[in-house]
């Protein structure tokens, strides 16, 4: 059980860190190089918080999205989901440390400790689902814009950026780690054993 909890915590922690990196990276979508003619020497990268232009000389210039209301609804929804995901993951990191068997906090009550570990796992699962929803929704929007009938040539449109793949990996790790932590729920046999051990000591205190 301890090894499973530790493996789940490390996987979920890695997923949370990857989700943080995906949220910060400005590579949610990038310029497409499909087609025969290259119409520009500048590669564009757009993220949730900034847009960057990389020139062929190696210079990169970035600009923050200063206006929130000017962003479209899918972008605002994706940003909100990623913020919620990071907050849930942070709560999962803190709560799981308290509930894991390898820590000394609350070791006198292993039943409650196991339930706390399960709560941390649920936080991680919810965090992973939020990340998965945000990344998949953004990818669907990029796909729709790429294949839509508009006047822009294909090499002037956008494709998936590296941050999307990082986000999918982060969601998978968070859900996997949270599931492993959720297996720490104390069984009825374990609860009965703990209560049998606790009752005599309580009786002796009253005597």
Per residue in 132-142, pLDDT tens?
999 999 999 88
31 belongs to a structural domain: no
CA dihedral for 139, 140, 145, 146, sign (positive or negative):
positive
207 belongs to a structural domain: no
Say if CB 28 and CB 13 are below 8 A apart.
no
Please report, for the domain that includes residue 148, its CATH number. 1.20.140.150
143 belongs to a structural domain: yes
pLDDT tens figures, 83-134: 999 999 999 999 988 888 777 665 667 778 888 888 999 999 999 999 999 9
61 belongs to a structural domain: no
With b for 16 or more beta-carbon neighbours within 10 A and e for fewer, the 151-160 pattern comes to: eeeeeebbeb
pLDDT tens figures, 125-169: 999 999 999 999 999 988 888 877 665 556 567 888 899 999 999
125 belongs to a structural domain: yes
54 belongs to a structural domain: no
Q: Enter the pTM of the model.
A: 0.80
96 belongs to a structural domain: yes
As for how many domains the chain has, the answer is 1
46 belongs to a structural domain: no
Q: Which domain holds residue 143?
A: 2-26+68-152+159-191
């Amino acid at each position: 059980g301890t090894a499973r909890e530790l493996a789940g915590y490390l996987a979920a922690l890695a997923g949370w860190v990857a989700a943080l990196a995906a949220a910060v990276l400005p590579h949610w979508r990038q310029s497409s190089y499909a087609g025969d003619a290259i119409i520009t020497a500048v590669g564009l990268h757009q993220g949730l918080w900034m847009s960057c232009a990389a020139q062929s000389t190696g210079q990169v210039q970035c600009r923050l999205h200063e206006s929130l209301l000017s962003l479209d609804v899918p972008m605002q929804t994706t940003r909100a989901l990623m913020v919620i995901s990071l907050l849930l993951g942070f709560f999962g990191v803190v709560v799981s440390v308290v509930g894991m068997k390898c820590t000394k906090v609350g070791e006198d009550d292993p039943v409650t400790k196991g339930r706390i570990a399960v709560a941390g796992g649920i936080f991680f699962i919810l965090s992973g689902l939020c990340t998965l929803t945000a990344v998949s929704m953004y990818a669907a929007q990029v796909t729709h814009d790429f294949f839509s009938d508009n006047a822009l040539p294909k090499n002037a449109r956008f494709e998936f950026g590296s941050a999307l793949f990082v986000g999918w990996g982060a969601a998978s790790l968070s859900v996997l780690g949270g599931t492993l932590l959720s297996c720490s729920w104390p069984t009825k046999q374990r609860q009965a054993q703990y209560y049998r051990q606790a009752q005599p000591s309580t009786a002796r205190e009253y005597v």
